[in-house]
Amino acid sequence: MSTPALDATLGPAAPAAAGAGAASAGRTRTAAGLRRWAVRSASLAAVVAVWQWLTTADARVGLRFDRLPSPAEVAAELGRQLGTRIYYLDLAQSMIRILTGFALAAVAGIALGVLVARSRWAGDVLLPPIEVVRPIPAIALVPIAILVFPTDEQGIVFITFAAAFFPIMVSTRHAVRALPTLWEDAVRTMGGGRAHVLWNVVLPGTLPGVFGGLSVGMGVAWICVISAEMISGEFGVGYRTWHAYTVVDYPAVLVGMASIGVLGWVASASIELLGRRLTRWLHSSDQGADQGADQATDRGADEWADARAHAGAGAGAEGGAR
């Protein structure tokens, strides 16, 4: 452990100087993490800068950028819209639709995925219709949704559900099938029945695979909720974007697109984050710099295990290093 005085002089800006000890290692990681975030932000800023340059220079290089609104115009439009109630209503509406559809898809997809993988009978009964419907793009179900559901709202949620359901179901099914039988055998020899195996082995063991499906499902769900809103909505980001297009308000179209992009990203990142939290047991100790703190403890554990294995001498050396 380095002394506080030393830390104060070096500061976090001198990560290379941080030598032994888990705490300093954690700080090095944090610094590396900050650098990575800086790179990521710079990448995004560069894209916006190029866009700004292309539009203000009225570039016509095969593609015609002269009529595209510039980032400044879009930002101004966004500023205007942020002051209106309707913008937030649209966001809320789209969020409610996607969360409802996605939540239903997650529950149904995981349940059915487990069921068809674990029971041959259920597989024979349920898989044929599922496999026939699966290749149909969810957005192609819009006419059916309009026909079958009494309200547009239900139709849109259904489209979202249909989009997210299949990737979740398929990933779950594969994850269950790929599960080593050893864990199940272990629980059964403890006297565990089907429910115990399901709860203590199948669900936690398939979680990494299931989260892969949830990630993909969330992405597809966004595509489909926006498309469905464009076709049959009265509210929502997709509807508003399409509406702006019909009145040739291009800055507003781009505000809509940017809103969709950011919301979609936040949604996917949330799934990703949740997945990483829940499957922490899976990650080896050399993960990304984002988990600096966890890392430090993991590393401590390894050192500790080594120290124990090598008995007295190892432990002594370890103590000295601190």
Partner 1 sequence: MSARTAGSAVQAARVGAGLAIRLEGVALGYGRHAVLEDLRLDIAPGEVLVIVGPSGSGKSTVLRAIAGLLAPRAGRVLAEGVPVTRPSADRAMVFQDDALLPWRTVLRNVELPLRIRGVPRRQRRTAAASWIARVGLAGCEDRLPRELSGGMRQRVQLARSLAGAPRAVLMDEPFGALDAQTRGEMQRLLLDVLRDTLATVVFVTHDVDEALLLADRVVVLGRGGVGCVLQVPEPRTPDIDRAGLRARIIEEL
Which residues contact partner 1 (rule: CB under 8 A)? Answer: 180, 182-183, 185-192, 196, 200-201, 204-205, 207, 279, 281-282, 284, 298, 301-302, 305, 309
Question: Nearer to partner 1 by C-beta: 183 or 250?
Answer: 183
CB of 194 to partner 1, least distance (A): 11
Cβ neighbours of residue 266 under 8 Å, at least 6 residues apart? none
From the CB of 317, what's the least distance to partner 1, in Å?
18
Nearer to partner 1 by Cβ, of 147 and 309: the residue is 309
* 85-to-77, 88, 90, 97, 213 alpha-carbon distances in Å: 14, 6, 9, 19, 35
Q: Which residues contact 178 (CB under 8 A, 6 or more apart)?
A: 209
In whole angstroms, how close is the CB of 185 to partner 1 at the nearest point? Answer: 5
Taking the complex as a whole, the smallest distance from the CB of residue 305 to partner 1 amounts, in Å, to: 6
In whole angstroms, the minimum distance from the beta carbon of 284 to partner 1 comes to 7
Q: Which is nearer to partner 1, 111 or 301 (CB)?
A: 301
Q: Which is nearer to partner 1, 142 or 197 (CB)?
A: 197
**Full DSSP string of 122-144:** HHHHHHHHHHHHTTS-GGGGHHH
Distance, CA of 104 to CA of 117 (rounded, Å) = 20
- Between residues 47 and 274, which has the closer beta carbon with respect to partner 1? 274
Q: Which residues pair with 61 in a beta bridge?
A: 63
Least Å distance, CB 170 to partner 1, is 23
| CB of 58 or CB of 185, closer to partner 1 | 185
Scored b (16 or more CB within 10 A) or e, 154-187 reads ebbbbbbbbbbbbbbbbbbbbbbeebeeeebeeb
Half-sphere exposure of 91 (CA within 13 A, CB side): 19
